[in-house]
Amino acid sequence: MNFLNINCRQAPVAILAAALLLSAQPGLQANGFYIPVQDPFATSRGNAFVASADRPSAVYYNPAGLTQLDSFAAHAGVYGVRLGIEAETAIDGGRHENDAEFIPVPQVYLGGPVSDRLAAGVGPNAPFGLRTDWGPATPFSVVATETDLTYATAWGVLAYELNDQLSIGGGIGVTYADGTLKRFLAPPNPIAEFEFEGDDISTNWIASLLWRPDERHSFGLTYRARTELDLEGAAGAPAIGLAIPGASLDLVTPDTLVAGYAYRPDEHWTLEANVEWVNWNRLGTSTLRQAPLPDNPIPFNWESNFMYGVGVTYAPNEKWAFSAGYIFIENSQPDLNFNPAVADGDRHWLSAGVSYKAAAWTMDLAYQYAFSDRTVTDPTAGFDAGDLVAGDYSSRFHGLMLSFNKSF
């Protein structure tokens, strides 16, 4: 009896990996399970910030930008997200809702100069993750019921100003990931919910540059390397007495490359644009190791995609600034590999925010609304998991971000 291989095409079964990669961070269903927004000021302007990077959050967005800080500064913020997904499945015409929760996601950064040309920064954030809970009553309960991933990365970076126009930066990230996946066993297995939980610690790296040819124009480039994870833990179906104490799953979060340009026509206005490439091709086939049962290959076969962000900031004086932005994110999950645990699709993000500065303190507040609508069809002949997940999926989420920055 194979408790893990559903008698259907393997792609949707990728549930196991897809699921794990989602969580507290996220729960944000942003780009697959990538959470690009990590600062309310950047978020309010469409996350177009890599060519400015003049705040402590440069630790993540563009470490080279830390050379712009005149003194050390700290950032403490939180991102609250409420994600709602609805599915109208074709096989039964039923409507199903993800159990949306309001999920807080923190960010902390500290950075500043250590000499005339050298700067340093540290800080934890949550660049990947998701949380979904469809419950047991959907036709795709053998594909996904509940998924949860807690994912956090602590960054340590250095930046060096080569000259008055060009700075470079880079560093390492240490990641902790803890994932949980639940789904029901498929017939002819007994009716029981299968669970997997595992965690791991891994590392990756970041490199960037910032070029400011003059006061009006600046260009930024940031590359973040992939993170290879081997989630080790346990699996089983308690209702039928199945226990696998040594289960593990290998997963890779993709590398990303983002390029940005900022234009400042005068002291009041800043216009900025980003293009970001996310290498989801890294998600080929993962393997769930479940001895004494055979290894279970889990094909993702996602497609790399692009994110396009534009934003504007208007600062009428030294105290106040108002921003707005838009992001378009391409779908990375083909119909053949669609999984409700992730439910990716072409996504639109609208955002706005306000900043207030008083002495050494700055407060940033941002609101974000995102939406996506997608029809999933089963491209294969015969009855399989594709028939269970086929249908119309719509997602709507609201995000609220608040942070405080303090210069020392």
Q: What is the β-pairing status of strands 73-89 and 166-184? A: unpaired
Residue at 160 is within a domain: yes
Domain that holds residue 261: 10-407
37: domain CATH number? Answer: 2.40.160.60
Name the nearest CA neighbour of 315 among 363, 275, 364, 354: 354
Distance CA 311, CA 351 (A): 9
For residue 41, give the 3-state DSSP assignment.
helix
How many domains in the chain? 1
Task: Give the span between the Cα atoms of 61 and 203, in whole angstroms.
Answer: 18
On whether residue 5 sits in a domain, the answer given is no
Residue 29, classified by CB atoms within 10 Å of its CB into exposed (0-12), middle (13-18) or buried (19+), is buried
- Evaluate whether residue 82 is within a structural domain: yes
Whether 1 is covered by a domain: the verdict is no
pLDDT value at residue 21? 34
Q: pTM score, two decimals? A: 0.90
pLDDT for res 255: 96
In a domain, 156, yes or no: yes
Q: What is the pLDDT along the chain (408 residues), one digit of tens a residue?
A: 233 443 333 333 333 333 333 334 444 445 678 999 999 999 999 999 999 999 999 999 999 999 999 999 999 999 888 878 899 999 999 999 987 667 788 899 999 999 999 999 999 999 998 788 999 999 999 888 998 888 999 999 999 999 999 999 999 999 999 988 899 988 888 899 999 999 999 999 999 999 999 999 999 999 999 999 999 999 999 999 999 999 999 999 999 999 999 999 999 999 999 999 999 998 888 888 888 888 877 777 889 999 999 999 999 999 999 999 999 999 998 888 888 888 888 999 999 999 999 989 999 999 999 999 999 998 787 777 788 999 999 999 899 999 999 999
Q: Give the integer Cα–Cα distance in Å for 282 and 128.
A: 15
